[in-house]
């Protein structure tokens, strides 16, 4: 657990970056510090591993004041990931990952084994180990950065806009991969971002911060979306709170129907030999094929809504973990599950 108690940071030029921050970050959770530039979120994060020293107040890690821990010992127990990975360009990927283990005195073989293990964990091929950062894509570099932060198995992970410099497609993949890793590893993660959707996707709890490092609201994403504390929070989250809330609700409980020979609304599903849906086609022929946007077992109600709206049959397609067809969810059935604040989902559907 990480505890901020009345923590402030004023820089020499008089700027108050963080003022009187009191916050409790639970072990094994992802806590997101969400705010615009100047809200003090990065300063708060960097005070945890003492890259920045607080002006006043205390920060405790599992009950121990971080100011009382020698800096080198503190940082060896805290992984740190920044934008663009922060990798050493003259070291191979394996050498980058093994940075902290090398400082801890691990032998060469153990370092190599740990690097290969972590490459697999973050979804990179073993052949990546002997490449240099400049030979990797931006998304691959970010994965290496995460692997390096995990190398010595630290209980705490600090992540400062880690995916912000990656293009949207790769960013989405990295977010999903990190969410998968966290389900397995259960680290105590402090994650800084200015992206509301990223915060909702990843955060167990979210602290929305105002200018000057003041927390405007803190809690689970559902609470922030359903009941913003004030106009600032509502404005920061944006005007589609209902649709964002749908992304937190599982699609698993929505019943599916079989797609028979008559299809749905005159449209049938074409599957491959393994039962994976490929296209929608008019029953009886005629008309162009339309691609399928399937929703997997970890999908959300928002994913079902998107799939249904993209379908000529106005039906979402559900698949299992192998991509095999489970069934379809006609919009009329899905609509009963779209009860959200201010009925924003219904408004969005009407706009389409």
**pLDDT tens, position by position, 259-296:** 888 889 889 999 999 999 999 999 887 777 888 999 98
Please tell me the distance from the alpha carbon of residue 6 to that of residue 18, in angstroms, as a whole number.
Answer: 10
Q: How many residues does the chain have?
A: 352
At 252, the pLDDT band (50, 70, 90 cuts) reads confident
Please tell me the distance from the alpha carbon of residue 116 to that of residue 18, in angstroms, as a whole number.
Answer: 40
Same domain, 221 and 301: no
Number of domains in the chain: 2
The pLDDT of residue 85: 64
Asked whether residue 307 is assigned to any structural domain, the reply reads yes
pLDDT in tens, 66-119: 999 999 889 888 988 887 667 888 999 999 999 888 888 899 999 999 999 889
Report which of 2, 1, 7 is spatially closest to residue 215, judged by C-alpha positions. Answer: 7
Q: In angstroms, how far is CA 72 from the centroid of its own chain?
A: 29
Asked whether residue 197 is assigned to any structural domain, the reply reads yes
Least confident window among 57-61, 90-94, 143-147, 311-315: 143-147
Same domain, 90 and 133: yes
| Residue 194 CB coordination number (10 Å) | 16
Same domain, 294 and 173: no
Q: Token pair 């200015």 is at which residue?
A: 194
Same domain, 228 and 335: no
Same domain, 75 and 193: yes
Q: Which domain holds residue 20?
A: 2-239
Same domain, 175 and 323: no
Asked whether residue 24 is assigned to any structural domain, the reply reads yes
Asked whether residue 136 is assigned to any structural domain, the reply reads yes
Asked whether residue 10 is assigned to any structural domain, the reply reads yes
Same domain, 224 and 79: yes
Same domain, 226 and 274: no
Please tell me the distance from the alpha carbon of residue 102 to that of residue 94, in angstroms, as a whole number.
Answer: 11
Asked whether residue 253 is assigned to any structural domain, the reply reads no
Domain CATH number, residue 183 = 3.40.50.300
Please tell me the distance from the alpha carbon of residue 198 to that of residue 237, in angstroms, as a whole number.
Answer: 12
- Burial-class residue 59 by CB neighbours within 10 Å (0-12, 13-18, 19+): buried
Asked whether residue 255 is assigned to any structural domain, the reply reads no
Same domain, 68 and 159: yes
Contact 330, 264 (CB under 8 A): yes
Asked whether residue 257 is assigned to any structural domain, the reply reads no
pLDDT: which is higher, 351 or 53 = 53
């Amino acid at each position: 657990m990480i505890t901020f108690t009345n923590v402030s940071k004023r820089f020499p030029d008089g700027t108050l970056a963080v003022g009187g921050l009191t916050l409790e970050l639970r072990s094994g959770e992802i806590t997101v510090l969400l705010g615009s530039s100047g809200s003090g979120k990065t300063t708060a994060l960097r005070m945890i591993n003492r890259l920045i020293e607080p002006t006043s107040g205390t920060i405790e890690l599992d009950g121990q004041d971080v100011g009382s821990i020698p800096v080198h010992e503190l940082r060896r127990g805290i992984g740190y990931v920044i934008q663009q990975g922060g990798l050493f360009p003259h070291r191979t990927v394996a050498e980058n990952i093994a940075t902290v283990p090398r400082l801890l005195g691990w032998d060469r073989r153990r370092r190599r084994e740990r690097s290969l293990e972590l490459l697999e964990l973050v979804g990179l091929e073993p052949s990546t180990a002997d490449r240099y950062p400049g030979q990797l894509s931006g998304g691959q570099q970010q994965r290496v950065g995460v692997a390096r932060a995990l190398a010595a198995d630290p209980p705490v992970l600090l992540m400062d806009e880690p995916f912000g410099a990656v293009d949207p497609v790769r960013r989405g993949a990295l977010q999903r991969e990190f969410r998968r890793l966290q389900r397995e590893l259960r680290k105590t993660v402090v994650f800084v971002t200015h992206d509301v959707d990223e915060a909702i996707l990843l955060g167990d709890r979210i602290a929305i911060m105002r200018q000057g490092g003041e927390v405007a609201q803190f809690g689970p994403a559902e609470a922030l979306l359903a009941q913003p504390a004030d106009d600032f929070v509502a404005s920061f989250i944006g005007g589609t709170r209902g649709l964002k809330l749908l992304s937190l609700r599982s699609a698993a409980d929505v019943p599916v129907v079989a797609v028979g020979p008559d299809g749905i609304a005159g449209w049938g599903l074409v599957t491959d030999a393994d039962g994976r849906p490929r296209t929608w086609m008019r029953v009886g022929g005629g008309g162009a094929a339309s691609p399928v946007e399937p929703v997997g077992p970890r999908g959300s109600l928002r994913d079902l809504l998107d799939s249904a709206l993209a379908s000529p049959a106005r039906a979402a397609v559900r698949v299992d973990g192998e991509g095999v067809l489970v069934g379809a969810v006609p919009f009329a059935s899905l609509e009963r599950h779209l009860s959200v604040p201010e009925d924003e989902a219904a408004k969005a559907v009407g706009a389409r």
